[in-house]
Structure 1
Amino acid sequence: MPKVVIIGGGPGGYEAALVAQQLGAEVTVVDRDGIGGSAVLTDCVPSKTLIATAEVMTDMAQAAELGISFEDHDGDAATQLGVDLAKVNARVKSLAAAQSADIEGRLSRRDIRIVKGTGRLGPGAGAAGGEVIATAPDGSEEVLHADSVLIATGARPRVLASAQPDGERILTWEQVYDLDERPEHMIVVGSGVTGAEFASAYLALGSQVTLVSSRDRVLPGEDADAAEVLQDVLERRGMNILGNSRMASVAREGDAVTVTLMDGRTVTGSHCILALGSIPNTEDLGLEAAGVQVDDGGFIRIDKVSRTTAPGVYAAGDCTGGFMLASVAAMAGRVAMRHFLGDAVQPVDLKEISSNVFTSPEIATVGWSEAAVTSGAIEADVVKLDLNGNPRAKMQGITDGFVKLIARRGSGVVVGGVVVGPRASELIHPISLAVKANLTVDQLANAFTVYPSLSGSTAEAARRLHRVD
């Protein structure tokens, strides 16, 4: 029976463990922070739970447009929404802990051994069979034989010497769940996905929000039309967005936090979230001795089946860079174990990855982008259909958002798409299926949709790409 040791219990690790056990391997997971990793305990699950509360606040704030009013027990109109952030964060942490326990129980029921502690590659690792050294919290060590090793150690928030978090007023995105009171004025430094999500959430929860962006707009890496819609909505709702503004330092004095910009301007608020990117957890793993190469940023180099440069050593998840998504980590971990254990495997295709920005409205994307079309990287036709003409959107009071489809010129094969709107994370799925299965716009258009429905706009966009030869 082949022996597999997995270092790290996040999505890349635990999903790989389940596949390896299913395929007949003896599996050990060495985990330091808790099964589920940062995705479950400090990042994805907690942040999206917080955002779920923010979504309800947004819906309630717009209820008057649908003819709904709130009244107190005397029949007087209630005019203000409130949120108990202590209760919100208690729920966030409770759900995260429960999810972690559920996953750990699933592993245990499958006879997957879990070793609490840190792991590093030992003698023989990188030669298609070797050892992993597991160090327990008390300092004791255990030597584990591994025919193959998967490294899934994740990443952590990047901080700067001039902007050190204190866990109280200056925060990384992993530290916000200890707040007991709603911040009066939250300054978010960084306008990428993480920064935009937290800025949108705290704005909906009732905080004054200032977003500091080093670029000219929010979400510089996303579809330009989508970013424009989001920025317009956020500014309309009262967010102060400082474009082309690079942070120099962050300092706290009492209950005030001041962000100093490179041009000398300052912004003062009650709290600050640092959303400055991620650093891979690849130190002290014995990578160099085993022959595992990393790039200049410390991220592990892998191929399309998750192999590193060392025989028998695979890697998955945020420690490898690229698309730092839980879904990608899980897929890469599954692919790694299927490849090692001789099962049928389909290499990860980056052009099939769907992703979502959980702002309000959400932004979901898959496949090729319009920027790639404009640059000439691919010949394709693009159509964009605003949601404000969709009947279901009108019923629900949705005025912002669109569906965008990208299809190869001539064949009409769907190669990409963007959805901006409520629950875009759900609406992107039929487009993802079309990209995965090489469906044409005609095939997508001819699938029945419910009337009225937001997904009807996807079919309509596909119909507009129909070509008559």
Structure 2
Amino acid sequence: MGTVSSQGPDLQATRIVILGGGPGGYEAALVARRLGAEVTVVEQQGLGGSAVLTDVVPSKTLIAAAEWMTSTERAASLGIRFGVPAEPAAASGETVAPGISVDLAAVNQRVMALAAAQSADIRARLDREGVVTVLGHGRLDGPRRVVVRPHGEGDDLVLEADAVLVSVGATPRELPGSPADGERILTWTQLYALQQLPEKLIVVGSGVTGAEFAGAYNALGVDVTLVSSRDRVLPGEDADAAELLEGVFRSRGMTVLSRSRAASAARTADGVAVTLADGRVVEGSHVLVAVGAIPATHGIGLEEAGVTLAPSGHVVVDKVSRTTARGVYAAGDCTGVLPLASVAAMQGRIAMQHVLGDAVKPIKVPDVAANIFTSPEIATVGKSEAALQAAGSKYVTTTLPLSRNPRAKMLGMRDGFVKLFAHPEASVVLGGVVVSPRASELIFPITLAVSHRLTVDDVAEAFTVYPSLSGSIAEAARMLHHPVD
């Protein structure tokens, strides 16, 4: 982030133009309207942006379908059998042999229908609030003017603004010399056109996106090979969580190629071939390239308007989302702060509060909770163990296996844990990791603890339901209790 002071608004704004209708853009638009501004949102794809149309909503909907498959893994331990004739039906005397299959065309149809419905809901909400929406490609013509090339025919539209918010997101990065074709070589935005499950899917990239899709397609019954350039999957996450997940992947039949950098991908007669940097070739029917994203900041007039870009192409912003150009703010993946929809939305809201003179609370990155939608999920908040060690910070930690939780035993859950970090003297909760089904829900009490600087005793002394998965959070906090001398 930049170091621009966050004291006071840049100017007295009444006309706001927002480039990009994703979470950063539409959340900003709603705040600006409530604060009395005239707001125009310029969006290329549709309201919700890539987060709703091609990224977060579709991927998590697909993963939700895959969860039904992974949940059957626990069925046998609960006394449930599949594929065994049931008792004769009382009326007809017929028996039923239940089975499970995946109709990918139907899954993807539902995925895209939900994405379209969510986009329509956002459009309707903005319309009700009086936000003007323009579909087209927008670019800055100086810091106070936006020029829009509308979809279809028609002259360019010039929008004058007192302030501009840039929330243009990012696009998938591709392997050098291996452009995605939407058929065999795919980015994560193109997967939803598939009508049949791949016979063998190669996933290049073991970060969050690669791990999520590799896990989902593996659960759907696909033979998956995950190509990781690092020592383990999810190299930027908690080491214990990543090690556990990689073990789960392998136990489910996934092939994980560690320390294997992909150099290129090419189509073959009936599939694809991925060439690794060491010369090995991995063959499959399809390849998903998940090697990060590129901010969509090129060619929209940012630098000409005085907006500083980092060498990576990300917009440089301060803690209230200001850029180096007076009156120009930025939010979301194009800023490189954290590639999360929740962060984009918060950045957009903060930007409008600042420019329109409302009370502002700058964003605090350590307070951001994040979740990886694998099975099990991995949720984190606050300081990571790697960050604490790198900073030489004093901390104590405890890890409580999910297998010890009574509710988890009832549900047949085995893989997972709760980990907390706290200051050894002050006992303040510094961070936490939850690896579990629905970890995205379980991380919230730890988020509250981190955000409000609660102690482990504050967490431990709060009542939890018995039996519940959240009981493990309180138990882990009790394990970090510092006795009074």
Common fold: TM-score over 0.5: yes
Per mean C-alpha deviation after superposition, the further-off stretch among 375-384 and 387-396 is 375-384
Give the Å deviation of 1:254: 2.7
Instruction: Please say if residues 317 and 324 of structure 1, whose CA atoms lie closer than 8 Å, have aligned partners that are also in contact.
Output: yes
Does 2:32 match 1:17?
A: no
Q: Tell me, in whole angstroms, the C-alpha distance in 2 between the residues paired with 1:377 and 1:13.
A: 38
Q: Which runs of no fewer than 5 residues in structure 1 stay unpaired?
A: none
Instruction: State the one-letter code of the partner of 1:251.
Output: A
RMSD of Structure 2 on Structure 1 (CA): 1.2
Asked whether the 8 Å contact 2:17–2:146 carries over to 1, the reply is yes
Deviations 1:376-403 (A, max 9, x none): 4422111111111100011111111000
1:205 aligns with 2:220: yes
Kept in 1: contact 2:172–2:290 (CA 8 A):
yes
Unmatched tracts of structure 2, length 5 or more: 1-12, 87-93
Q: Contact 1:69–1:77 at 8 Å: present in 2 too? A: no
The whole-number CA distance in structure 1 between the counterparts of 2:290 and 2:321 is 28
Distance 1:234 1:159 in 2: 25
Q: How far is the alpha carbon of 1:361 from its aligned partner?
A: 0.5
SS for the counterpart of 1:117 is strand
Measured in 1, the distance between the counterparts of 2:73 and 2:477 equals: 34
Distance 2:126 2:260 in 1: 46
Q: Which residue of 2 aligns with 1:326?
A: 341
After TM superposition, list the pairs within 5 Å mapping 1:121-132 onto structure 2: 121-123=140-142, 125=143, 130-132=144-146
Indicate the residue corresponding to 2:110 in structure 1.
91
Mapped contact 2:74–2:413 kept (Cα < 8 A): no
- The partner residue of 2:230 within 212, 215, 223 is 215
Code of the aligned partner of 2:38: E
Deviation of the 1:76 alpha carbon: 6.6
Aligned 8 A contact 1:411 1:440 in 2: yes
1:5 aligns with 2:17: yes
The range that moved more, 413-422 or 136-145, is 136-145
> 1:310 & 1:107 partners in 2: Cα distance?
27
Identity of aligned residues (%): 62
| Stretch deviating more after TM superposition (64-73 or 2-11) | 64-73
1:27 maps to 2:39: yes
CA offset at residue 69 of structure 1? 1.6
Matches within 5 A, 1:51-70: 51-70=63-82
Q: 2:119 aligns with which of 86, 100, 121?
A: 100
Task: Name the CA distance, whole Å, in 1 between partners of 2:170 and 2:260.
Answer: 26
Q: Distance between the aligned counterparts of 1:349 and 1:415, measured in 2?
A: 13
Please tell me whether the aligned partners of residues 43 and 137 of structure 2 are also in contact (alpha carbons under 8 angstroms): yes
State whether residues 169 and 255 of structure 1, in contact with CA within 8 Å, keep that contact through their aligned partners in structure 2. no
CA 1:72–1:251: 2 relative to 1, 3 Å: farther
Q: Secondary structure at the match of 2:420?
A: strand
Task: Give yes or no for the alignment of 1:242 onto 2:257.
Answer: yes
Answering whether residue 397 of structure 2 is matched by residue 378 of structure 1, we say no
What secondary structure sits across from 1:314 in the alignment? Answer: strand
Q: Does residue 448 in structure 1 map to residue 463 in structure 2?
A: yes
2:131 to 87, 108, 112: 112
**1:375 positional shift:** 2.6
Which residue does the alignment assign to 1:82? 101
Q: CA deviation at 1:408?
A: 1.5
Which residue of 149, 167, 191 corresponds with 1:135? 149
Q: How much does 1:121 deviate?
A: 1.2
Alpha-carbon distance between aligned partners in 2 of 1:298 and 1:154, rounded to the nearest angstrom: 11
TM-score (normalised: structure 1): 0.97
| CA shift in 2, pair 1:113/1:305, >3 Å | same
2:436 pairs with 1:421? yes
**2:382 alignment counterpart:** 367
Whether contact under 8 Å (1:354, 1:364) holds in the other structure is yes
C-alpha distance in structure 1 between counterparts of 2:167 and 2:389, whole Å? 36
Paired AA for residue 50 in structure 2: S
Query: What does residue 271 of structure 1 align with?
Result: 286
Once the two structures are superposed, what CA deviation does each residue of 1:212-238 show, in whole Å capped at 9, x if it has no partner? 000010000000000011000010010
| Residue of structure 1 in register with 2:310 after alignment | 295
**How far apart are residue 81 of structure 1 and its match?**
2.7
Give the CA deviation at 1:20. 0.3
TM-score, normalisation: structure 2: 0.94
Whole-Å separation in 2 of the counterparts to 1:386 and 1:156: 38
For 1:134, give the aligned amino acid. Answer: V
1:400-459 deviation per Cα after TM superposition (whole angstroms, max 9, x unaligned):
100011112211111100000100000000000111111111001111000000100000
The structure showing larger relative contact order (alpha-carbon pairs under 8 Å, at least 6 residues apart) is 2
Alignment size in residue pairs: 463
Partner of residue 404 from structure 1, selected from 414, 419, 423: 419
Provide the residue aligned with 1:353 in structure 2.
Answer: 368
> Which amino acid letter does the alignment assign opposite residue 56 of structure 1?
W
Shift of residue 77 of structure 1? 5.0
Alpha-carbon distance between aligned partners in 2 of 1:109 and 1:302, rounded to the nearest angstrom: 31
**Displacement, 1:373?**
2.5
Aligned residue for 2:125, secondary structure, equals: helix
Match in the other structure for 2:6: none
**Amino acid of the residue matched to residue 136 of structure 1?**
P
1:41 aligns with 2:14: no
